């Protein structure tokens, strides 16, 4: 059985213990990852050392307050006043032939580009993926507690050059304090941090990749360029947040330090390549290592949260990473003298379809509420 579906198989600590024992890593630290193969593809032992357990919750069960997201009612009221949104919601169920999408209806206003990219996604063609998976940058480290102002925008990183990639097996070994290439960390470079980045998925290398649904295969071909998917989500986030005085930040495609949310996009549906979840887990761990939560004076059970806003072709997911102070210490402290008893809980919520008006309204409301909450300096616990 392939290790690519480990995230699907490890739903609780019992399953983790069983598989960790099988792979001989039940007593191994994340800081011993370099003992394994340094191939670019994450291995079973490497993933298990991240101590992650995934939970899957359908969108119909989604309750924002359960995940610390506040102000949803206020956000929905604001969105109801947004010009052009009603027309956008009316038009998004329509799949217009590519030859007919130009000119775009000017009644869509600031959401014209969103409608345009949505059509490109829905009509997207398959492609051959040229790259291997799971390379990560070594970002400069900055404690989250040292941030000032609280108004930096949520970020989505852009793709770095291949020469900056770090295999996950070298994650902890190569993620060190300071900027890239030994440059000392200064106040200026602190705001220009490199990001753990994820390349295109090598679907041919994934033995679990198989689109067995004949309807889905014809209806939802993979999009040829994930930049199209990325553009849709970032443009949507900005279109629904920038018009309001209540907003103190913006969503960006620049490669900067992470704040509260990472946008992660893939041009294929999520069930086509389950190892995407392994990649997202490793990305969260790299983020925790690069910008650790302040655990000074906190109990080991103090909880923290971080978010991934994921779009896999036409489907949007919210992934909530939930962990405690002991897990932060496990990730950031190679000299700890006790075994870790904590786990990283990855909670997948969704999906919401970009072709469904109700789904778009829901995810837009969540994005606006989270942006306001973060701008006000409020936590998500």
- Specify the residue for token string 């390379």: 135
Which of 138-142, 201-205, 310-314 comes out lowest in average pLDDT?
138-142
Q: What is the pLDDT of residue 205?
A: 44
Q: Can you tell me the mean pLDDT for 150-173?
A: 37
Specify the higher pLDDT residue, 63 or 207.
Answer: 63
Residue for token pair 């080991």? 300
Q: Is the pLDDT of residue 5 over 90?
A: no
- Higher per-residue pLDDT: 194 or 200: 200
318 vs 174 pLDDT, higher one: 318
Query: pLDDT tens digit string along 237-281?
Result: 999 999 998 888 778 776 555 566 888 888 888 877 778 899 899
Q: What are phi and psi of 304, to 5 degrees?
A: -140, 160
Query: What is the per-residue DSSP string for 108-147?
Result: GGGGHHHHHHHHHHHTPPP----S-S-EE--PPP--GGG-
Stretch 338-352: mean pLDDT, rounded?
A: 94
Answer yes or no: is pLDDT of 292 > 80. yes
381 within some domain: no
For residue 380, is it within any domain?
Answer: no
> Which pLDDT score, from 0 to 100, does residue 13 have?
95
Confidence of residue 222 (pLDDT cuts 50, 70, 90): low
312 domain-assigned = yes
pLDDT confidence tier of residue 349, bands split at 50, 70 and 90:
very high
State the Cα–Cα distance between residues 117 and 145, nearest whole angstrom: 37
**Which pLDDT score is estimated for 142?**
36
Most confident of 123-132, 190-199, 240-249, 351-360: 351-360
Please, what sign has the CA dihedral across residues 329, 331, 333, 334?
A: positive
Range of the domain at 264: 3-375
Query: What angle in degrees, to the nearest 10, is found between the helix axes of 325-332 and 276-290?
Result: 90
User: Is the residue at 352 inside a domain?
Assistant: yes
Distance CA(59)–CA(82), nearest Å, equals 24
Number of domains in the chain: 1
Pairing of strands 344-353, 315-324: antiparallel
Among 136-145, 199-208, 232-241, 274-283, top mean pLDDT goes to 232-241
371 has pLDDT over 60: yes
Residues 186-222, buried b or exposed e (16+ Cβ, 10 A)? Answer: eeebeeebbbbbbbbbbbebbebbebeeeeeeeebbb
Could you tell me if residue 335 is inside a domain? Answer: yes
Task: Kindly report the average pLDDT of the chain as a whole number.
Answer: 75
Query: Does 221 reside within a domain?
Result: yes
Mean pLDDT of 127-142: 35
Inter-CA distances, 122 with 224, 270, 274, 349, Å: 11, 15, 21, 22
Q: How far apart are CA 72 and CA 44, in angstroms?
A: 39
13 located within any domain: yes
Cα(368)–Cα(381) distance, integer angstroms: 18
Query: Is 104 among the domain residues?
Result: yes
- Whether 12 shows a pLDDT value over 50: the answer reads yes
> Is pLDDT at 153 greater than 50 in this prediction?
no
Asked whether residue 197 carries a pLDDT value surpassing 60, the answer given is no
- pLDDT tens by residue, 87-126: 999 999 999 999 999 999 999 999 999 999 999 999 876 4
At 206 the pLDDT is 45
The DSSP string of 40-68 is SSPPHHHHHHT-EEEEEE-GGG--GGGGT
Q: How far apart are CA 374 and CA 30, in angstroms?
A: 30
């Amino acid at each position: 059985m392939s290790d690519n579906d480990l995230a699907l198989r490890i739903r609780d600590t019992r399953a983790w213990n069983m598989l960790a024992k099988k792979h001989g890593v039940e007593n191994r630290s994340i800081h011993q990852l370099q003992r394994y193969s340094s191939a670019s593809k994450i291995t079973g032992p490497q993933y298990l050392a991240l101590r992650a357990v995934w939970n899957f919750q359908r969108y119909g069960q989604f309750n924002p307050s359960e995940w610390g997201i506040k102000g949803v009612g206020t956000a929905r009221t604001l969105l109801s006043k947004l010009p052009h949104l009603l027309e956008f919601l009316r038009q998004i169920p329509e799949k217009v032939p590519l030859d007919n999408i130009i000119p775009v209806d000017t009644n869509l206003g600031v959401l014209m580009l969103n409608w345009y990219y949505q059509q490109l996604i829905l009509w997207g063609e398959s492609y051959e993926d040229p790259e291997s998976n799971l390379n990560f940058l070594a970002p400069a480290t900055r404690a989250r507690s040292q941030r000032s102002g609280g108004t930096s925008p949520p970020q989505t990183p852009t793709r770095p050059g291949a020469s900056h990639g770090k295999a996950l097996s070298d994650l902890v070994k190569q993620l060190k304090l300071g900027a890239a290439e030994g440059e000392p960390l200064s106040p200026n470079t602190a705001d220009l941090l490199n990001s753990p980045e994820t390349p295109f998925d090598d679907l041919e290398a994934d033995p679990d990749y198989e689109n067995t649904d004949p309807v889905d295969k014809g209806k939802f071909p993979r999009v040829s360029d994930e930049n199209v998917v990325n553009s849709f989500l970032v443009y949507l986030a900005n279109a629904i947040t920038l018009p309001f005085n209540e907003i103190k930040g913006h969503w960006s495609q620049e490669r900067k330090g992470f704040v509260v949310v990472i946008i992660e996009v893939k041009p294929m549906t999520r069930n086509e390549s389950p190892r995407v979840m392994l990649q997202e887990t490793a990305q969260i761990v790299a983020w925790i290592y690069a910008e650790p939560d302040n655990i000074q004076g906190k109990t080991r059970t103090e909880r923290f949260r971080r978010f991934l806003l994921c779009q896999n072709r036409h489907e949007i997911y919210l992934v909530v990473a939930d962990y405690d102070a002991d897990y932060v210490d496990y990730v950031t402290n190679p000299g700890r003298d006790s075994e870790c008893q904590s786990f990283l809980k990855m909670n997948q919520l969704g999906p919401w379809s970009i072709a469904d008006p109700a789904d778009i309204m829901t995810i837009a409301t969540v994005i606006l509420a989270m942006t306001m909450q973060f701008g006000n300096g409020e936590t998500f616990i």
